[in-house]
Amino acid sequence: MAANDTTPLIEKRSIDYIPEAERHGRLFSQFTLWMGANLQITAIVTGALAVVLGGDVFWSLIGLLIGQLIGGGVMALHAAQGPKLGLPQMISSRVQFGVYGAAIPIVLVCLMYLGFTATGTVLSGQALGQLFGVSDSVGILIFASVIVLVTVLGYRVIHFIGRVASLIGVVAFVYLFSRLMSQTDVGALLQIRHFSWSSFLLAVSLAASWQIAFGPYVADYSRYLPSHTSSVKTFLAAGAGSVIGAQVAMVLGVFAAAMSNGQFAGHEVAYIVGLSGTGATAALLYFSIAFGKVTISTLNSYGSFMCIATIISGFRGHLEVTRLQRLVFVLMIVGTATLIALLGQHSFLGAFKSFILFLLAFFTPWSAINLVDYYCITRERYDVPALADPNGRYGRWNLLGISVYVFGVLVQLPFISTKFYTGPLVAALGDVDISWIIGLVLPAALYYVCAKKWHGTVPDHLILPKEQGALPITNELAAQA
């Protein structure tokens, strides 16, 4: 099982520990996976918002890049945990929140990724509808079927799709940029420079929030790498792929919005494809858009599956999930997302997306707590078998982690700016949402100070499950370890 050619196509693991004998893959696959996940239409639309909402091209590009680097750094720090722990990302939250308490942030994360899957399915349905000459609803159903298949097959196929998506995305974006450059005076757009703190911070926030949103599941896709894989190299591979891919897509969005004369918003897919003209080239671009969404939508569905399995396993007392259970979970997740997409494709989806962005505030403090604990308090010294034992080292509920998390959520509320909810201090800040900054910095500082003084028992070294027979982590195994 150590070699790629003998690794089964259908993943047999779920949220259980990946034994060393089953580890495989290369760091380059982390780069291609996250580049492919970001070279897609939603990233283009996100970048375009910096201009649509009032920013100029030059300062929007600078702000987006700064946001990518900040948010990408947070995301990549989570990615580096995967090879060391051999576990999905959210399972490690049990160290900070307790075996039962970890369900609190996980439920909200699961809801958010369910919403992201639904919104992505709508855009993909539009592209497939145009490609095959069918209605958007039929396109949504076709796309959902593909997502179910890829998610059920699991880790190895997801990485393969990521490599293909990266290749297709690079070709498509090079072509789109060449068409865009031939149709507009880019130099003239860059010469228009009207700096505004509110517009600049908006661009930073758009990109940073985009990257931070990957945090709760990025380690799910690095956990199969050999445990001796360099943390720095994992950080750079995942972070560079995500930052480069997202920045390229958002730059295209910025220029497209700037030259559209108001025609971009509401017709994003058609406008981007329209840059290429019609006929076979347009058909290929519709295919590229749909395929690009396959990667990120699969990541969202796979991450949602991991979250649901993590919640259930915490109360069941073991981490094993059968393939049949996996199929049921995936069908339930993708089915729900598809239903939301079908019902909301014409009117409801805008409000629903605002609600999903509102949910970002609920896992930014989780990210801060998890990173501070892993890198500053426990320093990678986790007791992995105890993560499955409510009576073990981490207990059922960790009041310190839960309390800091609740504080982190509440302290953001005055600074949140979405259509679903707007805090009382947003207007004074020029209608800019800086909640993600508050949600990262204050909970991180508070948790560090409190955990330094009142942290639970920390093992002297990283404790891994016994790997004889590649057994999943269970309470019985935890007792033996």
Looking at the chain, the whole-number percentage of residues with pLDDT higher than 70 is 90
Query: What CATH number does residue 454 fall under?
Result: 1.10.4160.10
Give the pLDDT mean for 51-70: 91
Mean pLDDT of 37-60: 86
Q: How many other β-carbons are positioned within 10 Å of the β-carbon of residue 468? A: 9
Residue 143: pLDDT over 80: yes
pLDDT of residue 218: 92
- pTM metric for this prediction: 0.86
- Domain presence at residue 397: yes
pLDDT digits (tens, 9 = 90+) for 260-297: 776 666 666 677 777 766 677 777 777 887 787 888 88
Q: Tens digit of pLDDT for each residue in 321-331?
A: 777 878 888 88
11 within some domain: no
Domain that holds residue 367: 21-480
Report the pLDDT value the prediction gives residue 403, as an integer from 0 to 100: 96
Q: Judge residue 5's burial from the number of C-beta atoms within 10 Å of its C-beta, 0-12 exposed, 13-18 middle, 19 or more buried.
A: exposed
Three-class secondary structure assignment of the chain: CCCHHHCCCCCCCCCCCCCHHHCCCCHHHHHHHHHHHHCCHHHHHHHHHHHHCCCCHHHHHHHHHHHHHHHHHHHHHHHCHHHHHCCCCHHHHHHHHCCCCCHHHHHHHHHHHHHHHHHHHHHHHHHHHHHHCCCHHHHHHHHHHHHHHHHHHCHHHHHHHHHHHHHHHHHHHHHHHHHHHHHCCHHHHHHCCCCCHHHHHHHHHHHHHHHHCCHHHHHHHCCCCCCCCCHHHHHHHHHHHHHHHHHHHHHHHHHHHHHCCCCCCCCHHHHHHHCCCCCHHHHHHHHHHHHHHHHHHHHHHHHHHHHHHHHHHHHHCECCCCHHHHHHHHHHHHHHHHHHHHHHCCCHHHHHHHHHHHHHHHCHHHHHHHHHHHHHHCCCCCECHHHHCCCCCCCCCCHHHHHHHHHHHHHHHHHCECCCCECCCCHHHCCCCCHHHHHHHHHHHHHHHHHHHHCCCCCCCCECCCCHHHCCCEHHHHHHC
**pLDDT for 374 beyond 90:** yes
Asked whether residue 175 carries a pLDDT value surpassing 90, the answer given is no
Task: Supply the pLDDT for residue 265.
Answer: 62
Q: Assess if residue 2 is contained within a domain.
A: no
In the chain, how many domains are there? 1
> Which carries the bigger pLDDT value, residue 276 or residue 468?
276
Dihedral sign, Cα of residue 108, residue 113, residue 117, residue 122:
positive
pLDDT bin (cut points 50, 70, 90) of residue 49 is confident
Pick the more confident residue, 112 or 80. 80
pLDDT at 470: 39
Specify if 114 maps to a domain: yes
pLDDT of the residue at 319: 59
Is residue 6 one of the residues assigned to a domain? no
pLDDT of residue 114: 83
Residue 1 belongs to some domain of the structure: no
Instruction: Give the pLDDT band of residue 373 (cuts 50, 70, 90).
Output: very high
Residue 126 reports pLDDT greater than 90: no
**Is residue 25, in this structure, part of any structural domain at all?**
yes
The answer on pLDDT for 157 being more than 80 is yes
The answer to the question of residue 10 being in a domain is no
Report pLDDT for 476: 38
**Nearest residue to 161 via CA among 281, 292, 305:** 292
How many angstroms from the chain centroid is the CA of residue 59?
A: 26
